[in-house]
Amino acid sequence: MRQQQTIAAPLELSGIGIHTGAQVRMRLIPREQGGILFRRVDLAGMEFSIDSHEISCRNSTVLLNEGHSIHTVEHLLAAMYAYEIDSVLVELDNEEIPILDGSALPLVEALDTTGKRILSKTKKTMKIQERLVVEEGDAWISISPHGSFEVSYSIDFAHPLIGVQKLSLEIDPSSFRKDIAPSRTFGFLKDVPELYARNLALGGSISNALILDDNSVINGPLRFPDEFVRHKILDLIGDFSLLSYPLQARVEAHKAGHRLHLKGVRHILDNPDFWSLD
């Protein structure tokens, strides 16, 4: 167990939602009660809590409440999880977290600026005792006992600039800031018409996502040679933060995505004999 933490002072960030295309103002406010709570001020203060059964996936992770939603929460949740921030009120005046530059780097830079404050409440750790596996076709996630939180991710895209990429990393505030937070979301130019038809990626641009044509990245350079798999790890950290406890486990993922991440989270929560809280 460790002491819970909140941010030391309010923060404000603004920008566009990558899927909705809407301009949004986001305020992060210190919270004493424990837990991360979202509030939409444009909906008379409607609140959204972290509940794995009130979440969906639509090319991002989406919080739900009575027919309303908050889209693309994964980068913000990943930054707060990695920085061990347990209690924050997130106020929004629209339905999506601002995508900023497509990575979590602007978020951790803002968190570095404000710092953290220790709360009186303690935080238990979820320790995996036995291996769990979830699968969808040739994609899978394995969650195994381990002495820390380690993520091993592999991807395989039929694109000359991506191909097979794999990275294993122990996640802590330092490794997250240096190795994971700067990695940007990515997409393929050929998929844009289909995404637009589904009312997705309406705010996407070369300033907030890596865009690939058939042979290259049209808006490079890359921040890492394997930036694509690093961004997948960023998404997984955000999605696994939905467990609401720091995780002590080795998480291995192969060709996964938000839907399978969420399936893994629910599988853990539905099998309490496989883990303990300490």
Active site residues: 258
Token duo for residue 101:
């530059």
CB 13 within 8 A of CB 75: no
User: Hey, CA dihedral for 200, 203, 208, 214, is it positive or negative?
Assistant: positive
CA–CA separation, 4 and 218 (whole Å): 43
Angle at 272 between CA 127 and CA 242, to 5 degrees: 70
Q: State residue 87 phi and psi, 5-degree precision.
A: -140, 110
CB 34 within 8 A of CB 121: yes
- Which residue is it, tokens 């050929």? 190
CB-count burial class (<10 Å; 0-12, 13-18, 19+) for 234: buried
CA–CA separation, 223 and 14 (whole Å): 23
CB 185 within 8 A of CB 222: no
